Every structure is written in structure tokens, then in C-alpha cells.
């Protein structure tokens, strides 16, 4: 098993204004994916009296070993209770989709997380933006969804898919993160109002793909949000994960988070993919009913060295406005 790269030191955004606010975590787990070219879903719902503001996923093995290079994220989005992605209104659940590429998986598990806000009437609403692609081999596309005027970003998600009859196992997400309206990643301490999704085709041309970004937005007078970020070189060794953990300042709540992978600002080598983007305490995933203090992202290289690859993790840190 390849050694895991040491995580970079977390960084925090400047402390936001103080105020009472809290989130708890709901968790759903599904075995798999197993066979090559298949996918599974995990849908987590918030308890009554709370509002879903964001979510995440962890694609892992049940024995704790590093997953083979086939395991990758295809979607992590706000949805209905039945697991259908939503394009407006308040979401009822968070849907996470893990896929197996060209290799079968052993002992894979797809964990989906919902971040549930308590202590404030958040009233989240969803906006969606979609683009065609990716299409060409070793290419990528990005979509950016914007919150409406008078709203702040509290979370976001991403999906990439093809019609069920033409599933192509090299398709995968490489970015889901807070951004400006042009899709540039939010800086440490920023208060973004947009969310960007980036998908890559891998080593094959893709037919009929669609990539979508989901922004979860709340009234500006309810919650104040700032971004915390951490960026590190990697993964750059073949078949090796890179872990990044971002910490929110004391007095703020972890509302959500994101991840992005680039190569000199562009599309990384075709095998690089995301396996984790989840609420955590330190780097440990939060248990159901727990409270996150951090956000952790895990990126992984494919079967080839990937010099120049850079990974970034993001946390959205909120307080009552």
C-alpha cells in the first residue's frame, strides 16, 4: 500500500463576527461501488427542526486501506428526500454518488453527509447552473451557480453524468468549491456568493455528459459566512492520496466545504480524482449527530506520477448575522 502524503498544516480565515449558530451532521452509508463501471448512492436527511445547508462525501474502503485508483466521485448535491437533485427551494436531503471506473472495487463504502443548521432560521434555497461536457479525452469543463441578490452562500455541490445507457467510467469530478461568479476559487477570508463544479473526462472521450454546480443560499440577514482555505502540492506520486484539513475559527460553525485540483491552474493529469470532501474533527469524519470543527478533502492520483498537481480544501464558516 502506498504511503499517504502527510497533511499540510490547517489554516483559518480571520475570525468572523461573533454570534450563536450551530450545525449537526446526518450520515448515510451504502456499500460499494463494486463492479467496474458501476455507481452507488447515499442520501442523508436532516432531522426535523433543522435546515440542510450543505453536504459532503467520503469514498473509502471498509478495511482502511487506500482505495484503488478506480474509485471516484460523480455527484454530491442537494436533493429531495427521494434522492432527486433539486434546482430550487429548500433541499430535504444530500445525495452523494460514488463510482467505480475501469477496475472493480473491493470493500468500498460510500458515505454521504448532510450539514444541518440549528439555532437560526436559515431558510436555504438552491440555484443550479449546468454546462455540456466534458467531451474530449483529458479535458475538463466548469459550471458556476450564483446566489441571488440579497443572499449569501452557505454550501454547494457538484455533479457530472451521462445518460444511463452510456455510462463511461473515466468521467469524474475534480472540483466542487466556493468561488466568484467567474469560477475563480474563493480566497481565504472571502464571503463568496457562487459555487463552481469541475468535471474531467479522464482518458476517454465522453458522449452526452452534463456537469452541474449547485449553490445553497440563505438570506444575508440570517447568517454571516467566511471561507477558510488550505492549499498543498500533491498528489504527485502515482496511486497516492493527498489529505487537506481546514479549520473554522472559534465561535463559528462549519456550514460546508469543498475541494479543487489543478495543474498550473488548468486540468490535472487524467487519473487525478477526488475521494473525500466531508465534515470532520481534525481529519476524522464526524459521526452521525456530531458537530464538525473542520472540513477535510482527499484527492488521489491515478496510476501515473502527477508532477505539478495542486490540491485545495475549503470550509465555509458561519455565525448568526
Question: What percentage of residues in the chain have a pLDDT greater than 70?
Answer: 93
pLDDT by residue (tens digit) across 223-234? 899 999 999 999
Q: Is residue 170 a contact partner of residue 206, using CB atoms and an 8 Å limit?
A: yes
pLDDT by residue (tens digit) across 21-56? 789 999 999 999 999 999 999 999 998 888 999 999
For the chain, state the CA radius of gyration: 17
Question: What percentage of residues in the chain have a pLDDT greater than 90?
Answer: 79
Torsion angle defined by CA atoms of residues 154, 185, 194 and 124, in that order, rounded to the nearest 10 degrees: -10
Q: Specify the pLDDT at position 63.
A: 95
Segment 240-251 mean pLDDT: 94
Q: Specify the pLDDT at position 4.
A: 44
Segment 282-303 mean pLDDT: 96
Q: Specify the pLDDT at position 97.
A: 97
Whole-number Å distance between alpha carbons of 72 and 277? 12
Q: What are the cell numbers at 272? A: 487525478
Q: Is residue 43 a contact partner of residue 105, using CB atoms and an 8 Å limit?
A: no
pLDDT by residue (tens digit) across 246-276? 999 988 999 999 999 999 889 999 999 999 9
Q: Specify the pLDDT at position 10.
A: 44
**Model confidence, pTM:** 0.93
Distances (CA, A) of 254 to 66, 158, 230, 273: 27, 19, 15, 24
Segment 134-145 mean pLDDT: 96
Q: Which of 2-16, 84-98, 226-240, 278-292 has the lowest mean pLDDT?
A: 2-16
* Average pLDDT across the chain, whole number: 91
Q: Specify the pLDDT at position 141.
A: 98
Tell me the backbone φ, ψ of residue 74, rounded to 5 degrees. Answer: -115, -25
Q: Specify the pLDDT at position 64.
A: 94
Whole-number Å distance between alpha carbons of 34 and 25? 26
Q: What are the cell numbers at 274? A: 477526488
Amino acid at each position: 500500500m502506498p504511503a499517504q502524503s502527510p497533511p499540510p498544516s490547517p489554516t483559518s480565515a480571520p475570525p468572523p463576527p461573533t454570534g450563536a449558530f450551530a450545525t449537526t451532521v446526518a450520515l448515510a452509508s451504502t456499500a460499494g461501488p463494486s463492479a467496474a463501471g458501476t455507481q452507488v448512492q447515499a442520501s442523508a436527511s436532516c432531522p426535523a427542526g433543522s435546515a440542510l445547508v450543505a453536504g459532503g462525501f467520503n469514498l473509502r474502503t471498509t478495511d482502511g486501506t487506500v482505495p484503488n485508483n478506480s474509485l471516484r466521485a460523480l455527484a454530491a448535491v442537494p436533493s429531495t428526500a427521494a434522492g432527486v437533485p433539486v434546482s430550487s427551494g429548500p433541499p430535504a436531503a444530500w445525495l452523494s454518488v460514488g463510482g467505480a471506473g475501469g477496475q472493480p472495487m473491493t470493500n468500498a463504502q460510500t458515505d454521504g453527509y448532510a450539514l444541518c443548521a440549528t439555532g437560526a432560521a436559515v431558510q436555504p434555497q438552491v440555484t443550479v447552473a449546468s454546462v455540456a461536457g466534458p467531451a474530449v479525452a483529458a479535458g475538463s469543463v466548469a459550471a458556476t451557480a450564483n446566489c441571488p441578490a440579497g443572499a449569501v452562500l452557505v454550501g454547494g455541490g457538484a455533479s457530472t453524468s451521462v445518460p444511463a445507457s452510456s455510462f463511461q467510467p473515466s468521467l469524474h469530478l475534480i472540483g466542487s468549491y466556493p468561488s466568484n461568479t467567474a469560477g475563480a476559487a474563493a480566497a481565504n477570508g472571502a464571503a463568496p456568493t457562487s459555487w463552481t463544479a469541475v468535471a474531467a473526462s479522464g482518458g476517454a472521450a465522453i458522449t452526452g455528459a452534463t456537469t452541474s454546480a449547485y449553490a445553497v443560499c440563505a438570506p444575508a440577514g440570517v447568517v454571516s459566512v467566511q471561507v477558510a482555505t488550505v492549499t498543498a502540492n500533491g498528489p504527485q506520486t502515482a496511486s497516492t492520496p493527498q489529505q487537506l484539513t481546514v479549520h473554522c475559527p472559534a465561535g463559528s460553525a462549519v456550514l460546508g466545504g469543498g475541494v479543487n485540483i489543478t495543474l498550473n491552474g488548468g486540468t490535472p493529469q487524467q487519473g487525478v480524482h477526488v475521494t473525500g470532501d466531508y465534515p470532520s474533527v481534525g481529519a476524522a469524519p464526524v459521526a452521525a449527530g456530531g458537530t464538525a470543527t473542520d472540513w477535510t478533502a482527499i484527492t488521489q492520483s491515478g496510476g501515473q506520477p502527477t508532477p505539478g498537481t495542486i490540491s485545495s480544501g475549503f470550509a465555509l464558516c458561519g455565525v448568526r448575522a
